[in-house]
Amino acid sequence: MTSEPSTVGTPLKKLVGERTAKALASHLDLHTAGDLIYHFPRRYDERGEHTDIRSLDVGEQVTVLAQVQRTAVRPMRQRRGNLLEVTVGDGSGGVLTCTFFGNQAWRERELRPGRWGLFAGKVTEFRGKRQLNGPEYVLLGEGGDGEAAANEEVEEFAGALIPVYPAAAAVPTWVITRCVRVVLDTFTPPDDPLPATVRATRNLVGIGAALREIHRPSTKEELYRARRRLKWDEAFAVQLTLAQRKARAAAWPAKARPPKRGGLLEAFDARLPYELTPGQRTVGVEIAADLATPHPMHRLLQGEVGSGKTVVALRAMLQVVDAGGQAALLAPTEVLAAQHHRGMLELLGPLAQAGELGAAEGATRVELVTGSLGAAARRRALAEVAAGRAGIVLGTHALLYEGVDFADLGLVVVDEQHRFGVEQRDALRAKADQPPHVLVMTATPIPRTVAMTVYGDLETSTLSQLPQGRSPIASHVVPAAEKPAFLDRAWRRLREEVAAGHQAYVVCPRIGEGPVSDEEPPREDDSGRRPPLAVTEVAPLLAEGPLHGLRIGVLHGKLPADEKDAVMRAFAAGDLDVLVATTVVEVGVNVPNATVMIVLDADRFGVSQLHQLRGRVGRGTAPGLCLLVTEAAEGSSARDRLDAVASTTDGFKLAELDLEQRREGDVLGATQSGRRSHLRLLSLLRDTDLIRDARTEAIALVEEDPELARHPALAASVAALVDEERAEYLEKG
């Protein structure tokens, strides 16, 4: 170890010793002084105040500040020796039992009632009681009776605010605290990369003070100022990257695709069987203006389930076809691609029948390209696309393959953009001679801060109105474990709807027979839980049991394409009463006669996924009903989530809820690159104003210094916080 000055690049083994440095590296991926200094506390406890023990989840790795209430020693039944049970409390009525195996009388003397300490371990449950088995702990000096702190760990907690770090079982928070103290004793902070004018305008403390105060806060006010400065750095780095990417994209050349008088778009509008909503007309004007410029459109179209995004996209595609170009729509599933194909052919009629008898003047062709096309059909479709006769091309990722060539690709529409990887979207764009215009669509409403932070290089349009004729959807949670009679009633309710001439969906989280597929949600920690219900297992049980006598179809991603298409056609035609499916029906499936959806194991789906699924019913004139079946206990976080989904059909409220329950790193796309994210403190839910201010400053700075040439320290800081792979994700997303 060294007492020489350290910098962000100094290896930790020079500062804290090889053994500790190895533990920090292997368990927490911390290698340098900078890594450790930017490993911020996740919270701060105050001695005498409580950690809310009642809010802890079983299975969670926790560190709690608590007071010893009582101890008890009893003999172990299964083996020799005694068991020490130490009950600790948080001052609010919440208690944990810490259990220590073996004869440890010294521990009983040490853990005497009244002592405060930090206890770290994994929460388990035994006979209804929360436990920590053999936790690591450090006791705090009692101060009041003059007892001196006997070791240096306790010295760290002499102040009022006690930092609690993201830790590992092998590296508890107090070890990290000790290492941080060692590093801070010799640490020379980097030159402040933030321009002095921005610091002054936004009243931000210097970087050196911020890094010291976040680890060893002198007061709550100084801690707030430190956190605000470091949050600003994170927000500013992302916003600068987005502003730079947006500026570069705006300078790219693209072929302008202005509207054409008397073209396909005007003919399409004239034959539409309904009126566009005011929102559709407004967004249509925005998109038409973008397409008419000689720079590529980069627009995000978000709208509630059923708000009419597809018609807006089709009108944009027709404008491009009118201007001599082609438009491609990339859909996440073959079911959705085929549905788009059928829907567009129906809406366009003779406008999509070029080369056929009865085609309208100036008609085009709409081609479907999927992986399951037969060889002859594929050759014919690809020839139409390559020759430019197919003005509109719909498909799945099969559009990305070599051999799919366009004559003049002018617009790329990506449906349900969150279902695609960055590389897939970019591969389609690369098929154009010049950068094409890009429209990405999502039916998952995006909170404003996420739009600013994840999609900040895109212009955003929002459709909030539903077309006339859409019916309300009632949603209810069905607690199958607590009240089995409620589940029986759900099946009877489904039969009533079918008897009235309607149809129903039953959704399961798993296909069955084999590993979990891409269309199934990730499994949670299944300790003590049965496997998720599967389509192939549930369908025959329903056919023999509560839905006996009804016409039941099965749909999931592993079915052959022709079979999937046949099932969807049969359901759409009313030849099936019930469709038992996975989330393959989550997006784009439109059967107005379907009025009931029963989601089994609903707690295994995410908030936005449930909202999407629910949008499959209530698409006609009859009211929709969505029943969320769960075995999650009342009061659990999973049950609370389902209650929230059932309480509102407002997608934007649910998006906020979804954001509350997701890690910021997931939202910010850190997992996209597989690299460790340096975004630690920024909350998209709570820091709306700060993100907005950082965006304003970033845009102004990039306008006067696009490449940050006059701010090299800032450019280096941005590169450290938003690595190049992440920057590319932001650009392409």
Res 49: pLDDT: 56
Structural domain contains residue 401: yes
Residue 523 reports pLDDT greater than 50 = no
Q: Is residue 533 a part of any domain in this protein?
A: yes
Task: Dump pLDDT digits (tens) for 637-673.
Answer: 888 889 989 998 877 778 777 766 664 544 444 333 3
Over 80: is that where the pLDDT of 103 sits? no
pLDDT tens readout for residues 210-219: 999 999 998 8
Give domain status of residue 212, yes or no: no
Task: Average the pLDDT over each of 55-69, 188-202, 577-591, 655-669 and give the range with the smallest value.
Answer: 655-669
Mean pLDDT of 297-318: 88
- Do residue 431 and residue 477 come from a single domain? no
Would 484 be classed as within a structural domain? Answer: yes
Helix (H) or strand (E) holding 703: helix 688-704
Same domain membership, residue 353 and residue 498? no
90: CATH:
2.40.50.140
CB atoms inside a 10 Å sphere around CB 384: 20
Give me the mean pLDDT over the 384-389 stretch. Answer: 92
Q: How many CA atoms lie within 13 A of 687 on its CB side?
A: 25
Q: Which has more pLDDT, 309 or 321?
A: 321
pLDDT value at residue 503: 96
Q: Which two tokens stand for residue 259?
A: 């509207």
Mean pLDDT of the chain: 83
In a domain, 296, yes or no: no
Query: Which tokens belong to 55?
Result: 């809010």
Please tell me whether residue 445 adopts helix, strand or coil conformation.
Answer: coil
Give the CA count within 13 Å in the CB-facing half-sphere of 539.
21
If pLDDT is split at 50, 70 and 90, which confidence band does 151 have?
very low
Question: 319 and 431: one domain?
Answer: yes
pLDDT band for 721, please (50, 70, 90 cuts).
Answer: confident
CATH number at residue 569: 3.40.50.300
Cα–Cα distance list, 103 to 39, 77, 98, 137, 430 (Å): 38, 14, 15, 18, 69
Same domain, 438 and 484: no
Number of residues that this document lists for the chain? 733
Residues 496, 633 share a domain:
yes
Verify that 319 and 401 share a domain, yes or no.
yes
> What region, left, alpha or beta, does residue 510 occupy, with left being phi > 0 and alpha being psi -120 to 50 degrees?
beta
DSSP 53-108: GGGPPTT-EEEEEEEEEEEEEEE-SSSSSEEEEEEEE-SSS-EEEEEEES--HHHH
C-alpha dist (Å) from residue 579 to 3, 516, 617, 646: 70, 20, 12, 22
| β-strands 116-126, 61-75 pairing | antiparallel
**Domain contains 547:** yes
How many domains is the chain partitioned into structurally? Answer: 3
Reported confidence tier of residue 311, pLDDT bands at 50, 70, 90: very high
CB atoms within 10 A of CB 729: 19
Residues 428 and 522 in one domain: no
In sequence order, which residues have a C-beta less than 8 Å from that of residue 434 and are 6 or more positions away? 252, 253, 254, 255
The yes-or-no verdict on residue 519 having pLDDT over 60 is no
User: Are 405 and 269 found together in one domain?
Assistant: yes
pLDDT value of position 146: 30
How many whole angstroms separate alpha carbon 26 and alpha carbon 198? 38
Structure tokens at 401: 């393959």
Clarify whether residues 486 and 434 are in a common domain. Answer: no
What is the rounded distance in angstroms from the CA atom of residue 627 to the CA atom of residue 597? 6
Cα separation of 103 and 651, whole Å?
Answer: 57
Q: Is the pLDDT of residue 723 over 90?
A: no
Domain that holds residue 438: 264-291+308-442
Residue 627 has pLDDT above 60, yes or no: yes
| Domain edge (last residue) among 623, 648, 673 | 648
Question: How far is 518 from 531, CA to CA, in rounded Å?
Answer: 16
Last residue of a domain, one of 631, 648, 665: 648
Phi-psi category of residue 462: left, alpha or beta, with phi > 0 → left and psi -120 to 50 → alpha: beta
Lowest mean pLDDT among 89-93, 118-122, 682-686: 89-93
The answer to whether residue 457 sits within a structural domain is no
Tell me the per-residue pLDDT of 448-471, one tens digit each, with 9 for 90 and over: 667 776 667 778 888 877 666 667
Q: For residue 24, is it within any domain?
A: no
* Interatomic CA distance for residues 611 and 626, integer angstroms: 10
Which tens digits make up the pLDDT trace of 233-260?
999 998 998 888 888 877 888 899 999 9
Task: For residues 421-448, give the mean pLDDT.
Answer: 72
Q: What is the mean pLDDT of residues 436-449?
A: 78
Say if residue 497 is in the same domain as residue 396.
no
| Non-local CB neighbours of 151 within 8 Å, separated by 6+ positions | none
Burial of 508 (0-12, 13-18, 19+ CB in 10 A): buried
Residue 447 pLDDT exceeds 50:
yes
Residue 579 has pLDDT above 90, yes or no: yes
Is-contact 392 367, C-beta < 8 A?
Answer: yes
Joined tokens for residue 370: 């999927």
- Residue after which a domain boundary falls, among 82, 110, 134: 134
**Does the structure show a pLDDT above 50 at 157?**
no
Tell me which of 276 and 449 has the higher pLDDT. 276
- Give the pLDDT band (50/70/90) at residue 634: confident
Residues 487, 403 share a domain: no
Give every CB contact of residue 231 below 8 A, 6+ residues apart in sequence: 681, 682, 683, 687, 690
Confidence of residue 383 (pLDDT cuts 50, 70, 90): very high
Position 153 scores a pLDDT of 43
Report how far residue 158's alpha carbon sits from residue 17's, in angstroms, rounded to the nearest whole number: 25
Name the β-bridge partners of 95. 89
Q: Is 11 helix (H, G, I), strand (E, B) or coil?
A: strand
**Collapsed DSSP state (helix, strand, coil) of residue 121:** strand
Closest CA to 89 of 110, 59, 61, 119: 119
| Torsion sign over Cα 488, 489, 493, 496 | positive
What pLDDT does 517 receive? 43
Percentage with pLDDT > 70 across the chain? 84
Q: Are residues 485 and 554 in the same domain?
A: yes
The tokens for 581 are 């499916």
Summarize pLDDT for 331-342 with one digit per residue, the tens. 888 878 888 898
Tell me how many degrees the CA angle 35-40-45 measures, rounded to the nearest 5.
150
- Alpha-helical segments (H) within 117-263: 152-155, 173-186, 196-201, 207-215, 220-251
Amino acid 408: pLDDT: 93
